[in-house]
Amino acid sequence: MKATMQLVILDPGHFHAALLQKTMYANVDATVHVYAEEGPDLRDYLRKIESYNARPVDPTSWKMQVHASPDFLDRFSADRAGNVAVIAGNNRRKTEYLTRAIGAGMNVLADKPMAIDSAGFESLREAFALAGKKDVLLYDIMTERHEITTMLQKAFSRVPAVFGTLLHGTEENPAVTKESVHHFSKLVSGAPIKRPAWFFDVRQQGEGLVDITTHLVDLVQWESFPGEILEFPRDIRILSARRWPTEITPAQFERVTQLQTFPAYLRDDVQANGNLHTYANGEINYKIKGVHAKVSVLWNFEAPEGAGDTHFSVMRGSKANLVIRQGAAEDWQPVLTIEPATAAGAAELALALQASIGEVCETFPGVDLKRAGDAWQVAIPAAYHVGHEAHFAQVATQFLGYVEEGALPDWEVPNMIAKYRTTTQALEFARGDMKPGT
């Protein structure tokens, strides 16, 4: 396929920028222009690309054209070196970068979060309006839509004979619950991660309540109301939100940043015992089109032996509950279980699954069911478990297809706006800046 896309990478401070280049794309030119200030973030990014180019199996062939200077943003806007800008780094200037790229006529694929507070949300909304005027696309990297147990959870929820209808639930017992556990220390592309110090500064990275919860709020919308246009506050109302810090010791900080002291911008967050408090954890209780949902994110320093980042999710239907677990009992791998909503419904669920599994297999060939008491585990062929890093290429491929077509699905932009208003307003509630119902 002839290359019709030229990537421009703007200030790559997060390893997600490199993961988008872990594979080659048939319609993307191998030459990539990078604009950033000289420093450790740029060097770390380039080392990852070099490792992908040099790997013995299925190496990439990126040719990096680096433009490193203090005025990199002005040069980026003036050069217009490509038609697809990738933005993944320090979130403090994220909306500024988005606006500059769109103003230069580029389509933008941005790492989440695209807004970390209410001011950023207003700038993001303006950026979407500008993208419409410039006839370019702005899209965020929602990798979790491509995780197989999540895709199957959505698929089974669309089979009325199995799932019934989505319950409304209550604030104490939501109809949809999603919890994500992440870790500051982990492996990326087989090597220990090195995080920039600013990753621990919520004024630059954003709090957990507006960072990882972006994925979770997105999944609630995408699974529960697929293809529907959602608006805030017409369809969404925050009920409560809370936040709390993760405590990082100086030794832990040095281990993941390779810095022996906390930078000056973090010192206000250092406690009397010498440890850093970073507000990485949060929980949002809200209603979306009358359905009670709860999303929460937890950050620990590192995972137990053999474990990694984990996901827990429940969708409660009138006939069955669809539950994803990823704990020690599941050997830290995500497992989807279909459980009867009531004990009396077990026999009916078994018959419905036997009659409906073929419908699901039309989209996901090879998927099967394994009985587990009155419940059923979804047996998923290994080929579907591609790993989190591979999801970045899947998102990029989908986005490049949208660019070729010249449009996103009509629900994507309004739902991104609704998503970021949900997370940023929840942060205001958690900080006490707003009260529910205001």
53 within 8 A of 178, measured Cβ to Cβ: no
Question: Which pLDDT score, from 0 to 100, does residue 436 have?
Answer: 56
**Tokens matching residue 71:** 């005025």
Question: Which pLDDT score, from 0 to 100, does residue 435 have?
Answer: 64
What residue has token string 């950033």?
A: 36
Q: Indicate the domain borders of the chain.
A: 7-140, 145-384
**CATH number of the domain located at residue range(s) 145-384 in this protein:** 3.30.360.10
Question: Which pLDDT score, from 0 to 100, does residue 189 have?
Answer: 81
Among 144, 218, 151, 143, which Cα is nearest to 378's?
151
On average, the pLDDT of the chain sits at 96
Domain 7-140 part of CATH 3.40.50.720: yes
The verdict on whether omega for the bond into residue 414 sits within 30 degrees of 0, i.e. cis, is no
Low-confidence ranges of the chain (pLDDT < 70): 1, 435-438
Three-class DSSP labels, the chain = CCCCECEEEECCCCHHHHHCCCCCCCCECCEEEEEECCCHHHHHHHHHHHHHHHCCCCCCCCEEEEEECCCHHHHHHHHCCCCEEEECCCHHHHHHHHHHHHHCCCEEEECCCCCCCHHHHHHHHHHHHHHHHHCCCEEECCHHHHCHHHHHHHHHHCCHHHHCCECCECCCCECEEEEEEEEEECEECCEECCCCHHHHCCCCCCCHHHCCHHHHHHHHHHHHCCCCCCCCCCCEEEEEEEEEEEEECHHHHHHHHCCCCCCHHHHHHECCCCCEEEEEEEEEEEEECCEEEEEEEEEEEECCCCCCCEEEEEEEECCEEEEEECCHHHCCCCEEEEEECCHHHHHHHHHHHHHHHHHHHHHCCCCEEEEECCEEEEECCHHHCCCCCHHHHHHHHHHHHHHHHCCCCCCHHHHHHHHHHHHHHHHHHHHCCCCCCC
pLDDT digits (tens, 9 = 90+) for 31-40: 999 999 999 9
pLDDT digits (tens, 9 = 90+) for 372-401: 999 999 999 999 999 999 999 999 999 999
Global pTM value: 0.95
